[in-house]
Amino acid sequence: MHRMTQTDFAALGLSEPILRALAARNYTTPTPIQARTIPHLLQGRDLLGIAQTGTGKTAAFALPMLQLLTKSNLRPRPRMPRSLVLAPTRELATQIADSFEAYGKHLHQRVAIVFGGVGQSPQVQALQRGVDVLVATPGRLLDLMQQRHCELGDLEILVLDEADRMLDMGFLPDVRRILQRIPPQRHSLLFSATMPTDITQLANSLLRDPLRVEVTPPAATADRIEQSVHFVKRDKKRDLLVELLSDPQFVRTLVFTRTKHGADRVAKSLSKAGIEAHAIHGNKSQGARERALDGFRDGSAPVLVATDIAARGIDVPEITHVVNFDLPNVPESYVHRIGRTARAGRDGIAISFCDETEQEYLRDIEKLIRKRIPVAGKQAGGGRPAPTEIPRPQATPAKQPVAADAARGGNPWQDRRDDEATDDKAAAAQPAPAPRAVPDRFRPTPRRAPGPYEPDPRQRAPRPEGPPKPRHERQRRSGGRPAMPFAVDPEVRRERDAEHRRPQPQGPAHGHGHGGGRPQGPRHGHGGHHGGGRRGAQGHRG
Ligand code: AMP
């Protein structure tokens, strides 16, 4: 087994000290994104990775980076990191830095981390000592750069991780300002789960002849997840949720809402009904987020209510149930959401509520996953709706429901190329092969008439213009197409706009989403021996 570990990763060209670290973590096989990117990254090729958390993307960039930085063997100068990983949240930045430390434990690369919401002086000191790998959230980094505690003139490698989430959280202007100060000759990697127009443009301006690798999240193979839908009136959703959660089988349940206010409302109504639940979203302080996650992990609060963006960065094993209290308006989000259960080969259960205004969302989801989600508690086509329920609409059957998913193998790291191979097999067993239905990820116009809780998007003020684009970007842009205004659920966007209007607790360029300048909260759940703030002070090896 041990020898096989070494062979698999060794075949990608990784060096012995890295192979040893991987063996210690019991990594036996590279994930598809690792297998497909590492050899090219070791050659210095730029990369566009369309992948989200759970695919093994962190190691896909961290391993070759560690090897390249070791190989060039330059000593970092004070305040001038040799490589930079930009991540949208403190949690993700901490996970990434943890990974660098683990994979690089036999190397001598100094890792430091920088994020808002904590005092800056330990971070300044770490930068002053010299850093090989800097992991940072954009707001605080920009702040430190403006104070001249950090300069990027020596940067050899740059990674933008979860770029679409940075866009969602309003960090793109900060990211662009940071990119303006990076030398043109560097090795660049960009990862994003989705590719909205702004991110495509960013990738075009950043990457030179990039390798493009796209992988689906490991549990996108919806076949391992038992899915069902309740057709339920909007005002009955909370009762239905309480009823479901009274079943002791719901050991650890992640409930998704489309909006932050929705998440708060649902958590409150559950608490009122005697069910311990916390909400987690971008308006919560860092401390509140960590308390919610800790309670969810240790089982004291078995229900976590989250928005899509808040949930994406969290790492909680053994989620038994995912409940889509609201259906997402972007169908891919459904796959990401239900992928939070059934991790690492376990089975999971995903239950969706669909009210009278969400039927089109359901149809889009069924088109994307190419199967019809069974109605809860009924055999296909039979039974009567429960009193809280509304009948399944007849008019919008999913195109070509197929059983192709069932033909998939057990590899949890399934990638899109593998999917296609299996689809071929499934096609042989089917009368009419289904085309790969991958609709536009983000659509330029609203897909339905405004509903009771969605304002008419045409009446909203246009999105405020950001700061001017960096010159090198402007030169490369030819058409200057506007950003797609409806990429995000209008209600979500409205919440976010309101959020941007709120005064920032830490001054203009920093502190987004990092808990309003709270002192260091308790150490969040996983990751072990050292707190993020402490790493800022001491976070290096060698
Ligand atoms: P990521 O997508 O980078 O967030 O990684 C998801 C999880 O998969 C993390 O817990 C990693 O430690 C783990 N992981 C990454 N690569 C491998 C591998 N080749 N074998 C087993 N686990 C892995």
Distance (Å) from CA 459 to ligand 1 centroid: 44
Question: Quick check: CB of 56 below 6 Å from ligand 1?
Answer: yes
Q: Whose CA is closest to 488, among 339, 328, 326?
A: 328
Mutate-to-test residue for ligand 1 from 28, 58, 85, 101, highest number of ligand atoms within 8 A of CB: 58
Decide if 110 contacts 132 (C-beta within 8 A): yes
Q: Whose CA is closest to 186, among 103, 65, 98, 93?
A: 65
Checking 388-393 for CB contacts under 8 A at 24+ apart, the result is 388/230, 388/232, 388/233, 388/236, 388/239, 388/240, 389/230, 389/231, 389/232, 389/233, 390/231, 390/232, 390/233, 390/355, 390/356, 391/231, 392/229, 392/231, 393/231, 393/359
Alpha-carbon distance of 188 to 186, in angstroms, equals 6
Residue 67, φ and ψ in degrees, nearest 5: -70, -45
Q: How many CB atoms lie within 10 A of CB 304?
A: 27
Averaged pLDDT for residues 176-182: 96
Beta bridge partners of 134: 84, 112
Decide if 14 contacts 38 (C-beta within 8 A): yes
Decide if 361 contacts 369 (C-beta within 8 A): no
Identity of residue 337: R
Model pLDDT, residue 541: 33
Distance (Å) from CA 267 to ligand 1 centroid: 31
Question: Quick check: CB of 216 below 6 Å from ligand 1?
Answer: no
pLDDT band at 190 (very low <50, low <70, confident <90, very high): very high
Distance (Å) from CA 312 to ligand 1 centroid: 15
Distance (Å) from CA 448 to ligand 1 centroid: 39
Decide if 214 contacts 51 (C-beta within 8 A): yes
Question: Quick check: CB of 64 below 6 Å from ligand 1?
Answer: no
Decide if 492 contacts 258 (C-beta within 8 A): yes
Q: What global pTM score does this model have?
A: 0.54
Please give the biggest Cα pair distance in the chain.
71
Mutate-to-test residue for ligand 1 from 31, 85, 98, highest number of ligand atoms within 8 A of CB: 31
Host H or E run for residue 490? helix 490-501
Residue 301, φ and ψ in degrees, nearest 5: -125, 95
Distance from the Cα of residue 443 to its chain's centroid: 20
Quick: pLDDT tens for 432-447. 333 222 233 222 233 3
Alpha-carbon distance of 316 to 83, in angstroms, equals 29
Q: How many CB atoms lie within 10 A of CB 518?
A: 14
Q: Whose CA is closest to 488, among 438, 439, 443, 440?
A: 443
Identity of residue 385: P
Quick: pLDDT tens for 324-355. 999 998 777 888 888 887 655 557 899 999 99
Averaged pLDDT for residues 253-274: 94
> CA of 340: how far to CAs of 40, 224, 303, 313, in Å?
30, 12, 14, 11
Q: Whose CA is closest to 321, among 302, 307, 334?
A: 302
Name which of 61-70, 121-130, 391-400, 518-527 the model is least confident about.
518-527
Model pLDDT, residue 348: 85
Confidence check: pLDDT of 539 > 90: no
Distance (Å) from CA 499 to ligand 1 centroid: 33
**Minimal-distance CA residue to ligand 1 atom 16:** 56
- Across 220-347, the runs of DSSP E, i.e. the strands, are 225-231, 253-256, 277-280, 303-306, 321-324
Quick: pLDDT tens for 31-64. 889 999 999 999 999 999 998 777 889 999 999 9
Decide if 328 contacts 316 (C-beta within 8 A): no
**Which tokens go with 295?**
């309670």
Distance (Å) from CA 66 to ligand 1 centroid: 16
Question: Quick check: CB of 31 below 6 Å from ligand 1?
Answer: yes
Identify the sign of the CA torsion 296, 302, 303, 308. positive
- Percentage, residues of the chain above pLDDT 70: 65
Atom of ligand 1 nearest to the CA of 9: 19
Mutate-to-test residue for ligand 1 from 27, 29, 38, 213, highest number of ligand atoms within 8 A of CB: 27
